[in-house]
Structure 1
Amino acid sequence: MTDIQTRARTATDWIRKNCPSIPNTALVLGSGLGKWIDSAWIQKSIPYADIPGFPVSTVEGHAGALLVAEIKGTPAFVFSGRFHLYEGYSPREVTLPIACLGLLGTENLILTNAAGALNPLFATGGLMLLTDHINMTGHNPLTGPNVDDWGPRFPDMSQVYCPALREQAMQAAMNCGQRLEQGVYVAVAGPSLETPAETRMYRIMGADAIGMSTVPEAITAHHMGLKILGISCLTNKNLPDCMAQTSHAEILDQANASSDALGSLLSALIPNLGGRHG
């Protein structure tokens, strides 16, 4: 058994022991996207540092806690903050919480992120459903010995993001009166932001939004059989021929401003995904 397997199983056992039941749905919140959660929904907040085997989030805008919540009466795990390759973590460490969800038997996973819009038709502050992704991080969390109990050596990637969940998200957006774009997300390792030439290349490749997360988690979740929904909050616009300077602080500010729209969508969607399974 590898070190990551041992850590994942240790963390899973701890979560199972310290949570009264395991929800069907889990949510990973990206940078600056945590403020929409009503404190009354949170039944328990567990710092990542308290979970044996877990990494610790080091990035501003990531609370670094597992929330046991009921969103509009529907149980859900909420990972408030995630781990990134640019923090120095390995791909397996970045996706360790997702491996725990697979071991716990969680069925639905919603991955959110703060992303830059590459599609010139997409507005800053808008939301985009992920239809597909491009992995430009240079890493894959499945590299190394395969854990056969977790999934196949060569998982099919023709449909990573669940069409049924996307349809439910589109319906929830219509019910909220929200515009919801659909597009391809490209993941880069970071932490440096993209140059104009890189931005132009990614757009030519077919990407509609860009960020530094989500794809490793989606690969691990798909490998373990979870149904995945991806949502990007478009915090800035990357136009290579008139590239405006930006910073992580500005991206966080826009993510905070966009979190209300994301919260409305998730509050309408999650109650339709089912409650507890154990």
Structure 2
Amino acid sequence: MAPTYIEQIQEAAQFIQSKLGGVKPAIGLVLGSGLGDMAEQVEHPIAIDYNEVPHFPVSTVEGHAGRFVAGTLEGKSVIVMQGRFHFYEGYDMQKVVFPVYVMRAIGVQTVVMTNAAGGMNRSFQAGDLMVISDHLNMTGANPLIGPNHNELGVRFPDMSEAYDKFYRKLAHELAASVVGEDGVPLKLQEGVYAGITGPTYCTPAELTMLARIGGDAIGMSTVGEVIAARHAGLKVLGISCITDMAIGEELEPLTHEQVVAVANRTKPKFIALVKAFVREVPLTSS
């Protein structure tokens, strides 16, 4: 008989724990396109390829290394996902969010969700970082559809504060200490992330609609993972790297390579902000 979803989570978690040598990560970092180098900041790293982990899917997207890196960052135990899984790769939502539940099973309390996103707010510009205040689930799917697993969370999770208010405030306070190569402090934006399925980039009409209903940035990830994280009782900080401007009325052709290139240029500010957050975020003792 095939293992149940809960059994798959437990088996994956047990395998990862067997590789960690006693390290008990309290913070999970999910790194989006072009942002995977954050994992190079982890001290005493322990790398685990996704294809080693029982029941794990394989990341197929350029800019996603496809492995966990566990260790110490700013004095705290962390586990980093270098790459994630996407609905557009053909995985169902339960498989897309599987790693979130596995991180919770190994003791993670807080998750930093990052992504590369298009900016729909005209006050943004490519290279900005945006703290996610809320999201629009435009995927037409939800990872909690189907029988609820009470071991993971309640049937009807509250989403009134999907992105932790204190974490958002802390990120803004820390941004003032992040100074770019030009000597200018980081200007940290805040806004609503519109999650779509992809893999096509949006049409001008779609972008205009999403901006009019409240979206500030748009991308192809994060939303399902945040739903699962809140279902599992994890606190979430979301950060989008604005890699291009997605203004419907002024849309220009875009490639994934361009997205990754801008994310690469933004990495120093992104890494500095995430490291500061990990250093300062309070954790409860387990």
Same fold (TM over 0.5): yes
Unaligned runs of at least 5 residues, structure 1: none
Aligned positions of 1:115-126 closer than 5 A: 115-126=117-128
Query: Among 238, 243, 246, which residue is 1:235 paired with?
Result: 243
Q: Which residue identity does 1:84 align to in structure 2?
A: H
CA distance in structure 2 between the partners assigned to 1:151 and 1:15 by the alignment:
22
CA distance in structure 1 between the partners assigned to 2:158 and 2:37 by the alignment:
36
Query: For the aligned residues, what is the CA RMSD?
Result: 1.7
Per the alignment, residue 13 of structure 1 pairs with 14
CA distance in structure 2 between the partners assigned to 1:239 and 1:155 by the alignment:
33
Per the alignment, residue 71 of structure 1 pairs with 73
Q: Which residue identity does 2:245 align to in structure 1?
A: K
Aligned positions of 1:1-80 closer than 5 A: 3-19=4-20, 20-38=22-40, 41-80=43-82
How far off is 1:40 after superposition? 6.2
* Residues 231 and 36 (structure 1), Cα distance of their counterparts in 2 relative to 1, 3 Å cut: same
Residue by residue over 1:184-242, the C-alpha shift from the partner in whole angstroms, topping out at 9 and shown as x without a partner, is 00000000000000000000010000000000000000001000000000000011112
**Larger deviation: 185-194 or 104-113?**
104-113
* Residues 2 and 158 (structure 1), Cα distance of their counterparts in 2 relative to 1, 3 Å cut: farther
Per the alignment, residue 211 of structure 2 pairs with 203
Per the alignment, residue 181 of structure 2 pairs with none
Work out whether 1:158 is the aligned partner of 2:160.
Answer: yes
CA distance in structure 2 between the partners assigned to 1:161 and 1:65 by the alignment:
25
Contact 1:37 1:263 in 2 (8 A): no
Work out whether 1:244 is the aligned partner of 2:252.
Answer: yes
Per the alignment, residue 172 of structure 2 pairs with 170
**Larger deviation: 169-178 or 35-44?**
35-44
CA distance in structure 2 between the partners assigned to 1:150 and 1:39 by the alignment:
31
* Residues 275 and 76 (structure 1), Cα distance of their counterparts in 2 relative to 1, 3 Å cut: farther
Per the alignment, residue 83 of structure 1 pairs with 85
How far off is 1:15 after superposition? 1.4
Unaligned runs of at least 5 residues, structure 2: 179-184
CA distance in structure 1 between the partners assigned to 2:3 and 2:239 by the alignment:
32
* Residues 168 and 197 (structure 1), Cα distance of their counterparts in 2 relative to 1, 3 Å cut: same
Superposed structure 1 runs of 4+ greater than 4 Å apart: 274-278
Aligned positions of 1:93-132 closer than 5 A: 93-132=95-134
CA distance in structure 1 between the partners assigned to 2:245 and 2:53 by the alignment:
37
Aligned residues: 278
Query: Among 134, 144, 147, which residue is 1:145 paired with?
Result: 147
TM-score scaled to structure 1, two decimals?
A: 0.96
Task: Find the residue that maps to 1:35 and give its secondary structure.
Answer: helix
CA distance in structure 1 between the partners assigned to 2:191 and 2:135 by the alignment:
9
Report percent identity of matched pairs.
39
Work out whether 1:214 is the aligned partner of 2:216.
Answer: no
* Residues 42 and 58 (structure 1), Cα distance of their counterparts in 2 relative to 1, 3 Å cut: farther
* Residues 40 and 121 (structure 1), Cα distance of their counterparts in 2 relative to 1, 3 Å cut: closer
CA distance in structure 2 between the partners assigned to 1:117 and 1:229 by the alignment:
19
**Larger deviation: 106-115 or 160-169?**
160-169
Per chain length, whose mean CA-contact separation is higher, i.e. which structure has more relative contact order (CA < 8 Å, sep 6+)?
1
TM-score scaled to structure 2, two decimals?
A: 0.93
Contact 2:134 2:192 in 1 (8 A): yes
How far off is 1:178 after superposition? 1.3
Task: Find the residue that maps to 1:258 and give its secondary structure.
Answer: helix
